[in-house]
Amino acid sequence: VKAELRTLQVREGSYSIYVGHGILSELQVLQPELRSARILVVSDTLVASLWLPTLLEGLSSADVGVLTINPGETNKNQQTLYDIYDHLLQNHYHRDTILIALGGGVIGDITGFTAATYQRGIQFIQVPTTLLAQVDAAIGGKTAINYGVHKNMIGAFYQPAAVWSDLRCLQTLPTRVYQAGWGEIIKYGLLAGGDLWESLSHYLSPNAAPLNDTGLIDLIYQCAAIKVGFVEADVREEASRVLLNLGHTFAHALEALCPEKWLHGEAVAIGLYSAALLSYQLRLLPSSFLEKIKTMIITAGLPYQIPASLDPTALITQMQYDKKIQSGRLRFILLRRPGDCFVESMVPKDVLYDVVSSATCP
Ligand SMILES: NC(=O)c1ccc[n+]([C@@H]2O[C@H](COP(=O)([O-])OP(=O)(O)OC[C@H]3O[C@@H](n4cnc5c(N)ncnc54)[C@H](O)[C@@H]3O)[C@@H](O)[C@H]2O)c1
């Protein structure tokens, strides 16, 4: 193998995550069983126009079909799911088929859910092509589609057979999509603290030099390893895995109320600042950390404020659809400092209202 490569073994589902530069064209060398399998690549039209030829070149001796869908979050729905089922059935794909998800989190989530449900489950491989999907969405086996405006409401826990993160794919990302990935990276820094937080403080300080490939491979690998740690401890999110939702109670409500306004990573960035502000208002997080988090989000080119046009009551009402609700109570992930996050179900309504209003742009 010519490519630069780091490998992470995941016990849960026993699969490997490969992070490297140029690995897309070496898939079959690295995963020889692909040679004899029947494969369907699921991608979106945009990603396929950029990266499908490279993938197909690497899979040259295999039996490969391709299905492309329209890009974007609004297509992560039942209709697209049914279109994929139709294609699989009409073309007589059987249970020995392997689906390859070539794209961002949208393609990964819907292809994974197809794999979890088609003929009671077939194998799938994640080939994430956005930074967000490489550090987060492709890992951990959460698969889903949206239901109306409600995010990820229909889904399954279903682990991939492998994850292939090729840095080369990131070269064609529009700046906004690349930056959105940093929303989840900052989340990992806040969850893990320690060395990752220190590195991020450096990378996300004004005037820092851009990351080179080796630095980026290392960062993607570190985020993947943190996520794998949470997933292995609690695969079905019955306890500690819930912490990975830091910022997401706000983010999912924002995405539902304003479909297509933000990329997921942008909504997460606003959610992280909101969670930090809530922690500060509850006298848990010192103001110095709140300011630092805000600066990092801004330096990453991401939004941090809830827009003034949003009605705080509507946002809080939308949070009632959150999947973390237990015994009728909303649960928030709060933080005392980077590396020290916890779940809190007793956030007073007036403090929440205050935060949602004061996080708003003037
Ligand atoms: N399953 C999980 O654990 C998990 C975790 C986080 C996010 N998600 C989900 O992931 C989705 C967001 O993923 P995303 O941010 O990757 O967005 P996305 O999949 O919508 O991709 C964003 C855009 O970038 C384009 N694109 C993708 N790769 C490209 C490339 N290499 N070059 C040029 N353009 C490219 C896509 O066509 C799309 O238009 C959301 O639906 C979110 O809910 C899932």
Closest residue CA from atom 41 of ligand 1: 106
Q: What is the pTM of this model?
A: 0.95
In 3D space, the residue among 154, 151, 100 whose CA is nearest the CA of residue 127 turns out to be: 100
Question: pLDDT tier at 361 (50, 70, 90 boundaries)?
Answer: low
Could you tell me the two tokens for 177?
């999509």
Q: Is the CB of 109 under 6 A from ligand 1?
A: yes
Q: Is the CB of 50 under 6 A from ligand 1?
A: yes
pLDDT for 362 equals 52
Altogether, the residues listed in the chain come to a count of 362
Residue 48 has pLDDT above 90, yes or no: yes
Alpha-carbon gap, residue 129 to 337, rounded angstroms: 32
Residue 228 has pLDDT above 70, yes or no: yes
Edge-first strand order for the sheet with 97-103 is 4-10, 15-21, 162-166, 123-128, 97-103, 38-44, 63-69
User: Where are the strands (E) in the chain, listed by range?
Assistant: 4-10, 15-21, 38-44, 63-69, 97-103, 123-128, 142-147, 150-157, 162-166, 332-337, 340-344
Determine whether 103 is exposed, middle or buried from the number of CB atoms within 10 Å of its CB (0-12, 13-18, 19+). buried
**DSSP states of 74-96 as a string?**
GGSSHHHHHHHHHHHHHTT--TT
CA 71 to the chain's CA centroid: 16
SS3 call for 301: coil
Handedness of CA 235, 159, 106, 87 (dihedral sign): negative
**Contact present, 227 and 140 (Cβ < 8 Å):** yes
pLDDT in tens, 137-179: 999 999 999 999 888 999 999 999 999 999 999 999 999 999 9
pLDDT for 71 equals 97
**Percentage of the residues of the chain whose pLDDT score is greater than 70:** 98
Q: Is the CB of 247 under 6 A from ligand 1?
A: no
Choose one of 129, 135, 261, 302 to mutate for the ligand 1 pocket test, by most ligand atoms within 8 angstroms of C-beta: 129
Helix/strand number for the chain, H first, E second: 13, 11
Alpha-carbon gap, residue 258 to 73, rounded angstroms: 12
Cα(133) to centroid(ligand 1), Å: 6
Average pLDDT taken over every residue of the chain:
93
DSSP H/E element including 1: none
Q: Is the CB of 303 under 6 A from ligand 1?
A: no
**Contact present, 278 and 331 (Cβ < 8 Å):** no
In order of 18, 125, 225, the CA distances from 8 in angstroms are 7, 15, 7
Which residue in the block uniquely carries the two structure tokens 């539902």? 256
pLDDT in tens, 319-358: 998 888 888 889 999 999 999 999 999 999 999 999 999 7
Q: Is the CB of 172 under 6 A from ligand 1?
A: yes
User: Residue type at 69?
Assistant: I
Cα(180) to centroid(ligand 1), Å: 9
Query: What pairs with residue 6 in β-bridges?
Result: 19
Return all residues near 226 (Cβ < 8 A) that are at least 6 apart. Answer: 188, 191, 192, 196
Alpha-carbon gap, residue 111 to 93, rounded angstroms: 14
Specify the ligand 1 atom closest to the Cα of 143.
1
Cα(348) to centroid(ligand 1), Å: 34
SS3 call for 285: coil
Specify the ligand 1 atom closest to the Cα of 144.
1
Q: Is the CB of 237 under 6 A from ligand 1?
A: no
Q: Is the CB of 53 under 6 A from ligand 1?
A: no
**DSSP states of 215-264 as a string?**
HHHHHHHHHHHHHHHHHHH-TTSSSGGGGGGTTHHHHHHHHHHSTTTS-H
Question: pLDDT tier at 62 (50, 70, 90 boundaries)?
Answer: confident
Q: Which residues of 231-245 are buried (b: 16+ CB within 10 A; e: fewer)?
A: beeebebeeebbbbb
Q: Is the CB of 180 under 6 A from ligand 1?
A: yes
Specify the ligand 1 atom closest to the Cα of 112.
1
Average pLDDT of 285-293?
97
Q: Is the CB of 130 under 6 A from ligand 1?
A: yes
Choose one of 54, 70, 109 to mutate for the ligand 1 pocket test, by most ligand atoms within 8 angstroms of C-beta: 109
The conformation of residue 324, written as its DSSP 8-state character, comes to T
Alpha-carbon gap, residue 296 to 182, rounded angstroms: 10
Could you tell me the two tokens for 51?
């990266």
Choose one of 177, 236, 242, 260 to mutate for the ligand 1 pocket test, by most ligand atoms within 8 angstroms of C-beta: 177
Cα(263) to centroid(ligand 1), Å: 8
